[in-house]
Homo-oligomer: A and B are copies of this chain.
């Protein structure tokens, strides 16, 4: 299971092991990759970048990069996301670490996967020269992805769905003011199923997460009441 005896480093006498270790540069690298989500009228979307160089040039991937010495993982994820999309203020959550030595054919890179959420796909900006293109894809219909990014996508969608059920994470996918219909659309898009409007409204109201804003959203038809989350920080909701 654990490559018995293949790498005898840890079994050497302490002094020898430390000397070897100091000289060794053959350590896995650490990277971060961030699955960026937003919801629009078509449903849940993922932002992908087309790699501009390297053995995977031309393939689509999530925003990522190597972690630097002195940098936190969250910091590296924010930097990679900013370089890829210009975004600086997003909800960010660590998902899982992927360390299969063959996930990157060029080197052993352990990647810490993140999920980021924004309220509007239009907020993304220009990508760094590392990428040749960037665009939104329907989360349920992604193209072939570089590395093991398909695994990350599956993991991220599952986590997002789970957290919609027991946290107020939807606030990260909505602007500060929104109608009940918009909130329901976020849930319907992420969960990929329609919700009963009356039951949904009752459930959300029972959680006491929202405050009603004085204004109304005026459109082509009956105006809709506007709401805001009482707390914009994501927290678990007591589900007693």
Chain A to chain B contacts (Cβ below 8 Å), 24 pairs = A2-B76, A2-B78, A2-B82, A2-B88, A3-B68, A3-B70, A3-B75, A3-B79, A6-B70, A7-B68, A7-B70, A9-B68, A10-B65, A14-B53, A27-B30, A27-B69, A28-B67, A28-B71, A30-B30, A30-B99, A70-B101, A71-B101, A94-B97, A99-B112
> In this assembly, does A72 line the interface, its C-beta being within 8 Å of a C-beta of chain B?
yes
> In this assembly, does A108 line the interface, its C-beta being within 8 Å of a C-beta of chain B?
yes
B97 A73 Cβ-Cβ under 8 A: yes
Q: How many copies does the complex hold?
A: 2
Chain A interface category by residue count: 35 or more
A110–B67 Cα gap in the complex (Å)? Answer: 10
Indicate which residue in B1, B10, B30 contacts A130 across the interface (CB closer than 8 Å). B10
> In this assembly, does A26 line the interface, its C-beta being within 8 Å of a C-beta of chain B?
yes
B79 A30 Cβ-Cβ under 8 A: no
A171–B67 Cα gap in the complex (Å)? Answer: 38
In the complex, chain B residues whose CB is within 8 Å of the CB of A233: none
> In this assembly, does A25 line the interface, its C-beta being within 8 Å of a C-beta of chain B?
yes
Could you give, for residues 52-69 of chain A, a 1 whenever the CB lies within 8 Å of some chain B CB and a 0 otherwise?
010000000000011111
Indicate which residue in B94, B98, B99 contacts A67 across the interface (CB closer than 8 Å). B99
| CB-CB contacts below 8 Å: A74-104 with B | 74-76, 78-80, 82-83, 88, 94, 96-101
